[in-house]
Structure 1
């Protein structure tokens, strides 16, 4: 039996000395203000040790001042535990109430001397206790005191454990319930729930929500956002933050590549400038030498032109002479043809035959007239005379005609000579013009041939051949570079895949080995943990089980019953209710055996504790071993990752570098194609332009040649026209002279003719007379006439021949000397023309050879000059470049290294590229800054990845890019994702498990509430209360609601929530989204939640329903005023008693006889029947009531009735002392 047996007041609370028995119901009576409440509070202080929860108002004295006014003020609580008493002493230490325990029943002599005066200090009490009675140290900590009283042994020294009324960790609601009864506090569901919960188990059912809000879910939304952003896609299906990260890495790589390019270009520039400095002076010397050679060749070239001109001039003079002769022959031929030379030659050729014919005819005539000589002679003489006269006249006239003819001949010769001279001058002038025109035509022909040769050469010529070849070479190099880079990329990717698989395989091998070892260790750990729990259960049950009972009641039981009893099912069973019987024999159910033959296998609690410590040490070793295995695994994985990451990162760097090289080369290839196409187009265009120009020139030359030929023709025609004109003028002038001559001759001829006609007429008359006379004489006159006519005709012909015979002689002379030589002259002309053309050709070839030599030398000079100009331009450009920011950025590289193998590229081009790379670097760095700023805008300063979000210096951005590159390349996002996955899946599972544990007691709680409801129905002795019922409802606490939702989610999806599913698994995206949303809601609710711990009582709501007489309270969560004042006190007390009973029932599993007290002040407000009912209601549940009221009622219902009164102090008139007098003691004990 365990209970508070007595309370003793010494100089406490206006009570000088009083002993009040508490081993039954107690009734304190007395008028108001006599100290009933004071005594009740002192008893309550034993149970709650909480001065603020005693119902002392602020205007009254503080507890310590009132109850422990003096140094020798004491309150002693006597407790009986299993019929063994011990005491708790409360007294003031250092101005504050403190406690001591001592192992004895209360005896007055321990505190009061022979003069009935309380000992002045603890030292005298200690002396009074003597050495035989053990006492503890001062207990000044009220929490420690409560732990001792209620048996919460955690952290307590073993010396205090024997003072426990019960053994419970969850004792807090016992004093709270007791104080609620006394103080008539509002009855809240939470208090009732806590009491019910604590009755289920001593273990505290809580969820440390502060652990979630401060640890597990701290920065939850930020971390979720930080991780999720790496997987969040936009409308285009792109992951923006990954694109941003890739852009940063690309920008950094390009920046790095540009830096390398700048370094290479700086070295090349340094090589070029050094090369120029070495070569420039030698180049100038070479230029001077080669230029002298060029000038010498130029002089020779001019001399050669003079020689060619002299050679050609001789042939030209010959051709001119032949042309003159041919012209003369042509003119004379024309003149002879105009005189009908052929007829003249024909006539002259007949001269001899005509003379012969004339002689024959004269002979025939003489023969016919020989017989008539006289007649004939006479007429002959007459006729001769007439003829002589006519001949003389004719001769005179002929002489005159001859004179005219001679004058005409002279004049004609003068005219001929004059005009021939003019014509020769015209011909000479025209010949010069013709020669000039021919030369011009020849020049055009030469040019035309030259253009034709250029045109023929143009077909095989490529303009900008060097540039095109350069582009094609660059194209070949770029294609080679691309092919080489692609090969490297392919090989690196293959090696990367191989290394990835190898890494995966070795990681799996390490993890599998570690998991296998951990699993073996965990099996052993689980085994040891089970053993520890079993032993702890035995130790917990050691007091209330048969084991504890045997220790208390049966000496040396280990050597007797302990050797044969079943340890598991019997020894630690708490339901056996063991009793000692008078038979003291060492038999078992009448059977006696030799127990010495059996080993002693029963362990003491100490041995069990030692065994627990040993097992815990083993568990600790196993945990250390597991930690070592895991540490070794992590270390091996880390080392493995470091080992492979270096290779993989090298490969990634090779891949990224070569991918950049490929992209740049492809870009350069595109630019090269554009440039090549431009050069080809330019080449084609320029070729077309040149061809067009040649065609145009040819066309121009053709036109010019045609014009020149036309000019030549015009010159020839003009000359011909002038000559013709002169010929016409000559002909006209000759004609005029001839006309004048002919007119004069005509006049003379007319007179001659007239004279001849007259002579002929006279001769005819004479002949007629002769013929008549002869005819008369018989002469043949007819024949004579015919002969005469024939002679006349012959005479005329001979006369014509004589007049034109000179012309024929001239013609024959010209024919011999000139006309017959025309073919030869023409052949000579052709030969000389050919010689001229051959000479020209030979001279042209010779000139071309010399020109070629000259041009080659000129090219050499120009090449050197171009090189000098290029050097000068390079130096000039470099001197300007040295003042630029670009040069400052590459100055160290420029000064430190030289590459002798690469110096052909012009400095101006290198500088252009350097400037290009420099400004590209600046732009790329700006791009890097922009991309970094865009990237870090996604994160705050507390981001999970610890990315810096405040970057100021340029180096900050570079370092950020390096770190991010490493972050991406090492797949740290996957590590963070895995970590967060594990963390939050663990949180969800932990919340699910903790919530499951939290609400796992629902059935037991329901069972207890049902038991309470049934208990009320079966043991209700209070007539005023018709019904009293409680029920549970789903929790209205938003945190609990969310935890239950998370628990339900975990139950449904526990199999798919793993390391890699929270963000990345597409099939669980919706569920994971829901999980995250639930956690986000929980975070928000926890921010509002004021408590750090969520208790089991908050996992459900509790409602009451009280029917008092005809008043029904309905279902409420808080009882404040139920019916009248007395009824209100009654109902609250009943509920509190029921709750105490719930806890007592749980505690009674260990201790069958265990009693508590409840205090009710001013019980007089209740009807006597209700007082009796509440007493019975409490006592029936092993709860003792201590009531206070003005008067005594039903004294037999109480074990003790004490009357309290006030009397004036004998030492101080202003002070009143409380007298406590026991009126009634009923010996029939309530708890029998």
Structure 2
């Protein structure tokens, strides 16, 4: 298929060789300012566009930008109408102004443009920074092609190149070398002989330019048709009115397209207004709460200062009491140490007393008179034994009497001592029993006191624990806290009622909107129907006007003027579209002789059997039908005006309902948001109240735990005191028993000694 295949740039605005393959679909990708548009501007040049027209006015000329040196080339490789690969070479003109073209009947090869490839590579290796290729000039290339017997053309200008590539006969015939251009066109054109691609460069430029909009393409096609002498049909329309109507239609269409966005924006605007109102209310509440919080903060600061002063005073009192108690404790400890020291001295003295056997000495002291009497008796015996030969009997009797007297006295004394010892023994036993009974009584009393004290403490602690547990089970929100929750419940109930009212209002408005939308649709259908009827009436009126008042130089006007009665002959068989044509140039030959002639191209027709068509009526009939059509058009116009007015009224009501629905929807969402905020606020407040309630319960539970620990401590103390009392009482009972055993043992020993 004929078409452009490749674009090759040699030493162009890009150094070296740049190849752009255009076979089938092609994408040119790259970042901004990477040269995509610069390469794309080369496409219209291939199809015959002037190079100066593709370069922006802000840049240099085409040859300075794309062909900066005499060794710069732009090669287009394409397939001609004979399915052969050819190439077009663009090079700068020798004078430096303009571009020269040359066709070559062979595909592109880089070796045709450079001097020596091996030398070129060596030169590039030696100078690595340069990417320019050392190429031939256009004249040197022509000589090389001529030596190689390659078919090519002479240097061509832009007009000649365009005539050849497009096979434009008008340009070829106006050129100086017509024969050469015809020959070149047969060899290198993109289209076959008898066909042309005239103006394709304009279309290519319009499509590939940044301004390739449909309006630009339409304007370019109109310019091409006008350049080719094609007359466009004339319309009796004011361009300004048409433009205004188009602008209004586009505005309406654009507005209808943006209608959902506009409704959404209006809804968001209403929501924004509602939110702003809510924020204003919240701001007022915030300012009020802020002032209250500041006041509360100042009061808390004063309270804190007072509490700190009280704390300092309590600390001072506590320090003074602590010092006094420490002094008392120190004095008490000193007294305890002194008392313990005295007790230790007494115990030590008692131990020394026991070590010296004072009881035995006391017993010996009591036996001293007896021992004295025994001594006196022994002395008397000694005196008797020493007195020789004295009167032993008298002495004996005397001695016997003395001994008897002494014995009686001793027996009497011993009996008295025995009685006294027995009495003393009984007294000691009684004292022992009384002491033990008193000790047991005191022990029982102490145990009873200890049990009573423990039971009293335990009862008090259990009572306090039970009271606290009952209080914990019954503790709940305070009256103020419950009032806050009740206020929230009341506000929620009220908000729920407001939501229900807003929802009912919204549903009612939506039903009215739906009903009104049906009325709008019905009115729109009536308007469409009336518009269609009006268009049909206008078309009929226009058609009758055209038949009644044909255009200048039209076939219908000529027939009415030059050939009266044509309706009965030619009018029955002619195509009605030909009657308004102005390019048929009718010529009447022997119109008087052929007035009643019904032959056409040698065929005679019986036209009487053909009914007279509408377009071949008489002028009076046309006037009558035109009047009827105008009356129908007037009625249709009035019907359309009524339908439009009805549609406008229904639409205005619908718009008002939409606004009301929008406001109601906004109000409904506002109430829902208020309800949600109230729930969140209530939950937040309830969390705070629950936290305070849990804190109070935790404090009470801590007190219960303290009471339990106190009970455990009292129980442990009671157990320890009881054990200590048992231990002390057992030791004291043992001491008392041992003491009275010693006392009774001493009395028994005295009694035994007395018996002896």
The two structures share one fold, judged by TM-score above 0.5: no
Bucket of the pairwise TM-score, normalised by the shorter protein: 0.3 to 0.5
Q: TM-score if structure 2 supplies the norm length?
A: 0.40
